[in-house]
A and B are shown apart, each in its own frame.
Chain A
Amino acid sequence: MFPAIALILMCQTPTQGWHWEKHCDGRSCYYVKVKDTAPSQVMPNVTPPAVAPQRLPELLTVPPAPVVSPLPIERQYFFGVDRSKLPDRDKYAVGDVEVTRDVLSGTFQGDSPSLLPADSGKPHLTLFGRDESTRKQLETMIASADAAELREAYRVQVYDASHKVDREMTMAATLEKDKRFLDSGKVAVLQAPSATGQGKVWGALFAWQDAKELVSAVPKFDPNFKLPDKTRDSLRTLEASQVIVTLAVLVFLTCVVQSIFSNRNGARKS
């Protein structure tokens, strides 16, 4: 098998300016396409030339890099990074917009929630749809204004339980065995934060009508969930009024019983 593949590769006419080279690392051999250069430059078995090590910029968080002499680009095996087009100075960018190091570092610390929300400490709310169309529906629902509370409180992610990547990366494959998922075609799973909770599942919901229903149902799975203050106050008021009414009824009943007994005693005496 392998000699046949090797033969096919060797017989291919390489693009002009390129040639195939056999490459072994002790475990396996393979062929790579290498840019044509002068014979002495193709196989850098030679010690890298004595180029003065480039002075590295001041690093903010790590010690200076070990001295590794930069090798001329044409002497490197080319697998796809064109180093000649990399900048000759430190550079940080968001897409094609250059930013400072502080801005980028701040982004990872939650300074720019629109670019990168600080969600690594949040519990996971993961939604699965049975197929791509259900996933898209769930994604639209979770992006709506009604679901803003969920997006704020949880790290929300939406997957397609039938997609190969999602099946490999998540619990999607096990959902096939759950009748509730098969019936509803969707599920919302609430899990503890990655850093502290080790994936502990707090609860799951298999049926809901809209974002509002999900917003009201999901937080109740959270072991740290507390009723909002307003609701709690109203409950407290309600409890107090109930106590007053109960006491009043008890006093009234006592008076009635007492009057009945006193009437009976009065009747016996007479």
Chain B
Amino acid sequence: MKWIFPMLLVLAFAGFLVGQSPGTASAHLTDTPFARDGTAVDAWLPPSLHMKNTGGSDGAGLCVFTSLEMAAMSNNIRQLFGFQKFMTRRPGGGWPAKVNDMIARYCQEQSVKPPVFFHVEANDLGILKQALKSGRAVGITYSYSPTGRYRGQRIAHMVYLAAAGAGQGPDGKGWYCCVDNNFPGSFEWMDERTFLSVASGGSRLWAVIFANPTYPPAPTL
């Protein structure tokens, strides 16, 4: 009988630990588009529109094209709706020249004008911040999960960047938020230093930015 109280305490503590979302002070996961401190994402895309990564005709991943279709949805680029499905009939894997080629082909197939987009292949967070602040969506390379996904291992991946330098962040430089197409429905937040390491993978990051502006804000009266 005298063990009941200590056991309850231990169970409560264990429950508290389990209830915490995985992460550290510099990185954490949320199920909503808000960081732990309440900072909101810059480029809103509701979890119901998050897409799951899939494979191309050779089984290789389509993370690049999945991220770009998510960015297209976020920025009303109607020419690229259905882009991932189009790519499932072609070999997977993505790099800048292939992105140019596939966007041109997909738009040609639909007889529509291709969207304007930019490539950044440099560790230049200033451009990413400018893009997000002006309401442009970004697909960005991602080399490991700072919250422990993929067992901390190195990956060759692209994700949707939902925030760059938003709010204060743990270091005063703002939060960065990635939406991983292998884990749709969740938001991975990290500080600037961690993000640069994640996106560059030790060399240099690659980002694709669309010129179309994002959706209007939710109406208020």
Contacts and interface: CB of A to CB of B under 8 A. Distances in A.
Contact of B116 (A65, A73, A115): A115
Interface residues of A, number: 82
Interface string B183-221: 100000000111011001111101000010101111111
A26 B151 CA distance: 9
Interface stretch (A76-84, A220-228, A239-247, A255-263): A76-84
Given A66-B193, A85-B97, A101 B216 contact: no
Contacts of A65: 123, 196-197, 200, 202
Interface stretch (A145-153, A192-200, A210-218): A192-200
Given A68-B201, A87-B121, A81 B63 contact: yes
Interface in B96-122: 96-98, 100, 114, 116-122
B131 A108 contact: yes
Interface in A10-61: 14-15, 18, 23-28, 30, 32-33, 43-45, 48, 53-54, 56-57, 59-61
A154 to B, nearest CB: 10
> A54, A90, A159, A165 — which one has the most chain B CB atoms within 10 A of its CB?
A165
Interface string B39-56: 000001110110001010
Contacts of B66: 80
Given A48-B154, A80-B156, A94-B116, A119 B121 contact: no
B40 to A, nearest CB: 12
A120 B135 CA distance: 7
A194 to B, nearest CB: 5
A159 B120 contact: no
Interface string A229-246: 000000000000000000
A6 interface: no
Given A68-B201, A76-B143, A82-B156, A155 B100 contact: no
B172 interface: no
A60 B126 contact: yes
B5 interface: no
A169 B208 CA distance: 21
B125 A78 contact: no
A116 B116 contact: yes
B96 to A, nearest CB: 7
Interface string B135-173: 110000101010011110111111000000000000000
Given A65-B123, A77-B155, 13 more contacts: A25-B148, A62-B123, A66-B196, A81-B141, A81-B156, A82-B94, A91-B119, A92-B127, A101-B127, A104-B118, A169-B73, A170-B215, A189-B216
Interface of B: 22, 44-46, 48-49, 53, 55, 58-66, 73-74, 76, 81, 92-98, 100, 114, 116-127, 129-131, 133-136, 141, 143, 145, 148-151, 153-158, 182-183, 192-194, 196-197, 200-204, 206, 211, 213, 215-221
28 contacts: A23-B151, A25-B148, A25-B151, A33-B61, A43-B153, A56-B204, A57-B123, A67-B202, A77-B154, A79-B53, A79-B63, A79-B182, A80-B62, A81-B156, A83-B203, A90-B124, A91-B119, A93-B118, A105-B126, A115-B211, A120-B135, A155-B216, A169-B73, A169-B215, A189-B216, A194-B135, A197-B217, A200-B219
